Amino acid sequence: MISLKELNELLSKLREKNIRLWVENDRLRYTAPKNTLTPELRQLLVNNKVALIQHLTDIHRERNNTLNRQVIEPISRKDSQILPASYSQNRLWLLDKFSHDSSLYNTYCLLDLHGQLDISILRQCLLAITERHEVLRSNFIYSEELCVQLAQSYQSIDLPVIDLKTSTGEYLEELKQFSQQEIDKPFNLEKDRLIRFTLIKLTQNHHALLVCLHHIVADGWSGGIFIRELENLYQGLINREDSSLQNLKIQYIDYAVWQRKWVESELGQIQLDYWSKKLANIPKLIEIPTDYPRPKTQSFRGATYQIDFSETLITALKQLSQKQGTTLFVTLITTLKLLLFKWTKQDDLVLGTVVAGRNHMEIEPLIGCFMNFLALRSKLSENKTIQEILEQENKTVLEGYKYQDYPFEKIVETINPERNLAYNPIYNIALLLQTFPRQISFNQELKGSSIEVDRGIALLDQRWEIIESEEKTYLRCEYSTDLFKEETIKELVKNYLLFLEKVVENPKRKVEELSLTEPLKQQAQKAKVRDKKEPIQIVSTFTIEPIEESLTYWLNKLNLPTQLQFAPYNQVLQELLNPESQLNQNQQGINLLFIRPEDWARFDPTIETPDQFAQKIRQNTQELIAAIQKASRTSQASLIVVLCPSQPNLEPEKQLILKQSESLIISQLKQLRQINLITSQDIATTYPVSNYYDKNSDEIGHIPYTNLFYTALGTATARKI
C-alpha cells in the first residue's frame, strides 16, 4: 500500500504538471493540460485511486477543521417560504435594479454537440437538473428591506428548437451571433425563470445547446457542475441505467442562511478585521494611461484580445514557480503588477481576482453564485529584486486565500471607498487563472465541447484571464473600449509576455532593470499630457463664482482638462502683490483677473464726493497696472485680464472716471508679454446681453450680473483660453 510520503510526492508531481485532482461524489476527478497525463501517471492514479480519494478527503476535512467553520445544515422548509439572498445575490439584485433591462450579468453555457441526439432524453435531463438545484427555480423580490428568494416548482421546461440551416463551414459564426442575441435578452428577477434553454439544430446530427442564466443563480464553477450532471444523466437515461448522482445534502438557500450567521460570528469578524486593515487608505483606482478620457459613467462596452502562450514559456513559468515555492498564479499576477507599476508609475496597487468560494464539501456539488472577489494589495519598489517581489506577493496571496470567505460586498460596505460611476470600487483591474471545460462524452454516438462567445462587454477597465485547456494555454484580455484602443492592448499584452520572459530569465534582477517597449512609453506619456489638468486661478473684485458652470461647460466642450480655483473674495491687489498667494503660486497654469473698477470704491467709507471717488479709482488703477507689470516679469503663467462693465445707472461723472480707468489699463497692458485682455466692449460686441445688471443681487451679495451675463462672460473667457 502506498505510504503517506509517496502520496504527497505523487500529488506534488501532479501539481508541477498543473494536473488538478479532486473528489466528487466519492469519485476521483481530474483536469490536465494536453499531453501531461502520461500512461505511467495514469496508471499510478488507477493503482492508487482509493488511497488518493481518502487522502484528498482527509485534507479537505482537515482544512475545514483548521478554519473552524460551522457545518452548513439544511434549514426547515415551508411552502412558499421567503428566505434571504446571499450577499453576492443581494449585490447582483441591486446592480440589476440600477441597470434596468440589462443583460450585463447574464451568463451562459454553449455546447457544440456532434452525433445522434435524443431530444426527449435531453429535455428530461434539463428538467432533472432544474429540479435538483432549487436555486435554478428561484425568483428574487424585495421584502422587509431585504432581497429575498422564493423557490418555485416547475413541472416542465421550455426547450425551443431553432433550425439555423447553415452550411458546415459557416455555422460557427452564425451560431455565435444567434447565441449572442439570446444571451443579451434580459431577465426579470421577480417573474422570469432565471435559466433558459435553446436547442439549435445545425444539421441532422449536429446541434448546439445554449443555456442562459442570470449570474444571481450561477457562477463559473456552476457551468462545470451543469455539464457533468447533464453528461451523467444523459448516459444513464440513454443506457436505461440509474443515475450515479448522489442526493444533495443541502441547497443554495441553506448556504445563504448560514452565510449571514457566519458573517456575524467571531471568525467572520476576524476576517473583516484583516481586510479592513489591509485595504485601509487604498488608492481610489489604478491610474492607468488611457487612450480616451474616462467617461463619467461606465458604459460597459468592451472587446477581447486573445493570444496563445508558447509551451516553452508556460513550462518555464511553472518550473520557476515551483523553484520559488509558489504557484503559477502568484508568478502571473506578480508580473502583471510589475508591468502596471512600470506603466502607471503608481507603487500602491490593488488587483482583483476571483475564488470559487466552495470551501465546504457540502456546497462543492451545488449550482449557485458562491464565487467571491479578493482585492490583493501590493506596494512595489524599483530597488527590490523580482524574487523579493515574488516572495512578497506569495505572502499576500496566501493571506488573501486564508481570509477569502468574508463577502466582498461587506468589505466594500465597511471600507466605504469613494463611490464613482466611472469605475469599479476598490479595484479596476483583475487577473484570473482558469481551467477550460474538458471535452464531453455523452455516449459513443454523442460528443460535445464548449464554445466561447465574445459578448462585447467589459465590467472592469481590464480583466486578464489565463486559461488552460487540454490543447493550449492562452491569455484573454477583456478591456473597456471607452478607454482603450486595440493597438494599445496588443502592445500591453506584448509587454506582459516580455516581462514574463524576463522574470523567468533572471528573477534576481532588480525591478528597475525592467523596461517598457518604446510604443507603450509613448502611449503613457501621451495620456499623461492629455490628462494633465491645467490649473486656472480666478481672482475678482466682485463675486465671480456664478461663472463656473458656463466656463466649465465650454472647457469640457473644447476638451481642455482644467481645474478651476477661486481666490478669496475681492482680493485682486493682495493676490498680485503677495508672493505666497494662490495666484503667484500658480506658475504653470492660467490666471484670470475679473476687474470692475467701481468695486474699489464700494466699501470705502471715506469716499463721499466725486473727487474722492475719482482719486480712489485712479490710485487703484495705477496700483493694478504696476502689480500686473511686475507679475508679467516674474510669473510663467498666462494672465487674462477681463474688464467688466459697470452698472448702467451711475452718475455721468463716475461713468467718465471708470471709462478713463479702463482706457488706461488697456493702453498700459496690451503690449505686455503673457497678458491677454478682454474689454467690456469685446463682451458687448461678441456676446451682447442688454439686461446684464442685477441691482438686488449686487446689493445683497455683490453679485452684480444676471445669470445670462455670467454665461456670456464664461463663454468669452473660455474662447480666450
Q: Which amino acid is at 471?
A: E
Q: Is residue 448 part of a domain?
A: no
The length of the chain is 721
Cα separations in angstroms, 668 against 381, 628, 672, 675: 54, 10, 8, 11
- 466 and 542 fall within a common domain: no
Do 387 and 272 reside in the same domain of the chain?
Answer: yes
* Distance between CA atoms of residues 138 and 148, nearest Å: 10
Residue 444 included in any domain? no
More confident residue, 588 or 703: 703
Contact 208, 112 (CB under 8 A): yes
- Taking the CA atoms of the chain, what radius of gyration do you get in angstroms? 34
Cell numbers 463656473 correspond to 548
Helix (H) or strand (E) holding 492: helix 486-505
Q: Which of 253, 274, 307 is the last residue of a domain?
A: 253
Q: What's the gap between Cα 360 and its chain centre? A: 29
pTM beyond cutoff 0.95: no
DSSP, residue by residue, 182-243: HHTSPP-TTTS-SEEEEEEEEETTEEEEEEEEEGGG--HHHHHHHHHHHHHHHHHHHTT---
> Taking a C-beta distance cutoff of 8 angstroms, is the pair 222, 252 a contact?
no
Q: Kindly state whether residues 542 and 512 are assigned to the same domain.
A: no
Residues 375 and 349 in one domain: yes
253, 277, 296: which is the final residue of a domain?
Answer: 253
Same domain flag for 102 and 205 = yes
- Quote the cell numbers at residue 642: 477681463
pLDDT band at residue 460 using 50, 70 and 90 as cut-offs: very high
- Beta strand segments in 85-131, E: 106-115
Could you tell me if 703 and 694 are in contact, meaning their C-beta atoms sit under 8 angstroms apart? yes
Supply the pLDDT for residue 608.
82
For residue 82, how far is the Cα from the chain centroid? Answer: 33
> pLDDT tens for residues 363-379?
999 999 999 999 999 99
> 404 pLDDT exceeds 90?
yes
Q: What number is the average pLDDT over the span 559-569?
A: 82
What's the grid cell of residue 62?
Answer: 482537515
- Give the CATH number for residue 22: 1.10.10
Q: In this structure, are 194 and 153 located in the same domain?
A: yes
Distance CA 702, CA 694 (A): 10
Q: Which helix (H) or strand (E) holds 583?
A: helix 582-585
List, for residues 660-694, the tens digit of each pLDDT value.
Answer: 999 999 999 887 877 889 999 998 888 888 889 99
Is 48 found in the same domain as 138? no
Q: Which of 524, 553, 584 is the last residue of a domain?
A: 524
CA 659 to chain centre: 57
Query: Looking at the domain assignment, is residue 640 inside a domain?
Result: yes
Instruction: Answer yes or no: do 587 and 463 share one domain.
Output: no
Domain that holds residue 623: 533-720
As for how many domains the chain has, the answer is: 4
Strand order in the sheet with 590-595: 562-566, 534-540, 590-595, 638-643, 675-678
Q: Given a cut of 70, is residue 13 above it in pLDDT?
A: yes
**pLDDT tens-place string over residues 497-519:** 999 999 999 999 999 999 999 99
> pLDDT value at position 67?
47
Evaluate whether residue 74 is within a structural domain.
no
Is residue 647 within 8 Å of residue 542, measured between CB atoms?
no
Q: Are residues 88 and 201 in the same domain?
A: yes
Q: Among 537, 708, 494, which Cα is nearest to 635's?
A: 537
Report d(CA 545, CA 487) in Å as an integer.
Answer: 43
How many distinct helices (H) and strands (E) make up the chain? 23, 22
| Residue among 136, 132, 65, 91 at smallest CA distance from 360 | 65
Residues 591, 674 contacting (CB under 8 angstroms): no
More confident residue, 582 or 601: 601
pLDDT at 355 over 90: yes
Q: Are residues 28 and 103 in the same domain?
A: no
**643 and 496 in one domain?**
no
What CATH number is associated with residue 665?
3.40.50.1110
Answer whether residue 475 shows pLDDT above 70.
yes
